[in-house]
Amino acid sequence: MSDNRFLRPGRRSFLAGSAAMLATPAIAQDPSAVNSAATTVGERDLTESVRRNISSFRRLDWQPYFSNLKNGAVLVDIDSRALHFWGEEGDFYKLYPSSVPLTEDLTRRGRTKIIRKVEGPDWRPTPSMLERNPEWPEYIGPGPDNPMGTHALYLTWTYYRIHGTHDTRKIGRQSSNGCIGLYNEHIAELFSLTKVGTQVLLI
């Protein structure tokens, strides 16, 4: 959806054989093929000794980012790959690991808000996504093959969402076409905490 852009990994298949098979891309036959390994930037070998960015799971104060907490507030830190939520009264706080866009070109930063909430979202690739990946299906309904997971929070920016993912490998990585992804259990919780009008800031 996003230039919305959130797709989860599986494997891209290459067809050989009959003209009929060539006329129908594998991804059109198998929606889960949308979620290919090519949509996730791999990390370094986890057996290596690597200095980690601990700021991803450090509590933040809301005051540097918002003037008030009316309707609650969501802060997405692209670099730390973390989503922060503060309740309207300021006494409730949650922190979730997230997936972020694959590239800087796909990344959008700034202020927006939640304008729609959908449980069991469907998914359609954006025109630019289809231009880059003409073999992708034009529609995937709700369910385990849907790149948007179980819940979606729609923002004022066209094609941009905060949503779940059925592919847990995506979380904590650069793996979307622009959206912010959470584990399904986390997006379900955030879905219950937010409302239409909740302010959102991506930094």
The candidate with the shortest Cα–Cα distance to 34, out of 153, 125, 151, is 125
163 catalytically annotated: yes
Residues of 118-152 as b/e, b for ≥16 C-beta within 10 angstroms?
Answer: beebebebbeebeeebeebbeebeeeebbbbbbbb
- The answer to whether 119 and 150 are in contact (CB under 8 A) is yes
Task: State the pairing for strand pair 100-101/82-86.
Answer: unpaired
The alpha-helical segments, DSSP class H, found in the chain are 19-23, 26-29, 127-132, 184-193
Q: Which of 84, 166, 179, 186 is catalytic?
A: 179
Place of tokens 């005051």: 63
The catalytic position among 84, 163, 166, 186 is 163
Q: Where in the sequence numbering do the catalytic residues fall?
A: 163, 179
